[in-house]
Amino acid sequence: VSASHSDLITLTTDFGEGSPYVAALKGVILGVNPAARLLDLSHRVPPQNIRHVAFFLTAALPYFSAGPLHIVVVDPGVGTERPLLYIEVGGHRLLVPDNGCWTMLARDVGGTPRVIRLAEPRYWRPQVSATFHGRDILAPVAGHLSLELDPRELGPATTEWVHLSVPTPVLESARLSGEVVFVDDFGNLLTNIPAAAFTAWHDRPVRITVAGQEVPRRVRTYGEADPGSLVALVSSNALLEVAVAQGSAAAHLNASVGTPVEVKLIT
C-alpha cells in the first residue's frame, strides 16, 4: 500500500480526549480500511458549538493540500432528520452533519461546493444508533472513500444545505466594528476584523477597544511587547488579534466570543 494523500483521514470532534467515542471512530474507519492514516486535529471543540468548529476549520483546513478527508463530528442534531453530507470545496473534502459547520470555510476558500447527501446504507454500519452517526455512518463512509470509492455512490447530489450565519464586521472608512470570534488556548482574541482593513490605515493613529477597554499598543509580533502588556496585532491567519504578551488577553479583558471590538481612526 503506497502512502498517498487519499488515505489520510483527519478527525475533528467535540468528544473530549477522555472519550471512548474517539477510539470507536478510529476503530470503525480502520475496520473498513486498515491502511487508512488517521490524524487527530482536535477533540476539544466545545460541546455542540457549531460556530467554534466553523472558525476552527477556517483556521486549520486551508493549510492542508487537496487530498485528505476531513471528518467533523460536532452534531447536536444527531438522530434527527438532519442529513449527513460529503463536501468538496476549494480542493478540500469533508464529511459533516448538515449544520453549517463548513460554510464559513467554503466562503473563505471560494469555489462552488459539490455536496452529496449520504443516503446509501450499504456503506454504513449495519446497525445505526440514534445518537452516534459519526461512528455508524461517517466513519465507515470515510473508510470506503479512502479506498477510492466514487463519492457518487454515497447518495444524491444536492444544492441545499444549512448555511451558518456568522457575525459580519462593519467596515467603514474611519471605523471598523466587529467582535471576538475565537479565543485560542493562549487566551489570544481572534476577531472577525480582517487585517487588510486594519493595515490599510498603517501609519495613522487608531484607537482600538475591546468592550470599551483600550488596547494601548500595536505590534508586529508578541516579542515586541513587554511581557504582560496588552497589544493588537495581525494574527497568523490575517485577522485583527488582541493579545497579552506571555499572558491571556481573554483573562485580562474578561473577553470571550461575541465581545465587541472596535478600531477607530483618530482624526
CB of 9 to a second copy, least distance (A): 12
Task: Identify any residues that bridge with 94 across adjacent strands, giving them in sequence order.
Answer: 70, 87
Give me the least distance between CB of 90 and a second copy, in Å please: 13
Strands 37-42 and 69-73: unpaired
Minimum gap (Å) between residue 190 Cβ and a second copy: 10
Nearer to a second copy, 8 or 263 (CB): 8
At closest approach, how far in Å is the CB of 136 from a second copy?
8
Q: List the grid coordinates of 72.
A: 467533523
- 142, containing H or E segment: helix 139-146
Q: How far apart are CA 233 and CA 125, in angstroms?
A: 48
CB nearer a second copy, residue 4 or residue 254: 4
Q: Which is nearer to a second copy, 130 or 266 (CB)?
A: 130
Closer CB to a second copy, 17 or 266, in the complex: 17
Where does residue 173 rank: exposed (0-12), middle (13-18), buried (19+ CB within 10 A)?
A: exposed
β partners of residue 260: 179
DSSP states of 182-251 as a string?
EE-TT--EEEEEEHHHHHTTTTS-EEEEETTEEE-EE-SSGGGSPTT-EEEEE-TTSEEEEEETTB-HHH
Q: Rank residues 38 and 171 by Cβ distance to a second copy and give the closer one.
A: 38
CB of 57 to a second copy, least distance (A): 8
Give 53 or 261: the residue with its C-beta nearer to a second copy.
Answer: 53
For residues 19 and 112, which CB has a smaller minimum distance to a second copy in the complex?
19
* DSSP strands (E only) in the chain: 8-13, 37-42, 69-73, 84-89, 92-97, 114-117, 170-171, 175-183, 189-194, 206-210, 213-215, 217-218, 230-234, 239-244, 260-265
Smallest distance, a second copy to C-beta of residue 170, A = 25
